[in-house]
A and B are shown apart, each in its own frame.
Chain A
Amino acid sequence: MAKQKEEKQTMPPIGSWAPAVALGWLIPGGGHLLLKRTGRGLLLMVSVTSMFLCGLMMRGAMFQPQTGDLLTTLINTGGFIGDICSGILYLVSVWLGYNTPDMAGHVHDYGTKFLVTAGLLNVLAMVDAFEIAAGRKD
């Protein structure tokens, strides 16, 4: 039993899952589409992209990594990681010059959270794509 569990937990070869995970990062839902899970891939793509676009339309702020006290470092670096996990959505918006400062107001605040959460949801999608590619999940 323990041996079976150990066998299940062994890391599959990188070539079997890396393309799906990398594409899943770059294009939300792309990993699922590559693995022929079209319906789920499209749902993920629509949800993550819509959430990111709503964040942009609410003029949410993008985080920049900052150091300082522990809380500042955690919030800004964590937020930055969350932002870049949206892949091409983040890259294109930064490339097109999106740079809204952090402003007061509940709409901007929600926008900032939408942008970070879109990236974090994409991380979940990437983990799911990894599990499918590794054969741990259908």
Chain B
Amino acid sequence: MPKMNLSHFEAAMLFSLFTSVVLGVVTKRTDRERLHYGLYTFACFVVALFGIGWLMYLGHG
């Protein structure tokens, strides 16, 4: 099994992608709603990733 060596950012983006796909598929009732919800959750993950990242950076001093 090859070893994967990702940065925090890459791992978090990958996590967001897979989770958003599953949440989009299982949550809504039409394909259009699923696509929108998947994109929305992915965007939320990315915003949270950058937001919390900056918060930690600024809080660290």
A residues near B, CB below 8 A?
Answer: 40, 43-44, 46-48, 50-51, 54, 56-59, 106-107, 110-111, 113-114, 117-118, 121, 124-125, 127-128, 137-138
| Most chain B CB neighbours (cut-off 10 Å) among A57, A110, A111, A118 | A110
Q: Is the CB of B25 within 8 A of A44?
A: yes
| Contact status A107-B29, CB under 8 Å | no
Q: Is there an interface contact between A128 and B18, defined as CB atoms closer than 8 Å?
A: no
Bound-state CA distance A59–B12 (Å) is: 16
B1:A56 contact, CB within 8 angstroms: yes
Question: A118: nearest residue on chain B (CB-CB)?
Answer: B18
A58 pairs with B6, CB closer than 8 A: yes
Interface residues on B, range: 10 to 19
Q: Which residues of B contact A (CB under 8 A)?
A: 1-6, 8, 11-12, 14-15, 18-19, 21-23, 25-26, 29
Instruction: Specify the main secondary structure of chain A where it touches its partner.
Output: helix
Within 8 Å by CB of A57, from B3, B19, B21, lies B3
Q: How far is the CA of A57 from the CA of B6 in the complex (A)?
A: 10
When distances are taken between beta carbons in the complex, the residues of chain A under 8 Å from B26 are 44, 124-125, 127-128
Nearest chain A CB to B26 CB, angstrom units: 4
A124, B29: Cα distance in complex, Å: 15
CA of A43 to CA of B34, assembled, Å: 12
Nearest CB of B to A110, in Å: 4
- Report the separation of the CA atoms of residues A13 and B25 in the bound assembly, to the nearest whole angstrom: 25
In the complex, the answer to whether B19 meets A121 with C-beta atoms within 8 Å is yes
Assembly CA distance A110 to B5 (angstroms): 10
Q: How far is the CB of A87 from chain B (nearest CB, A)?
A: 15
A82 to chain B, nearest CB (A): 14
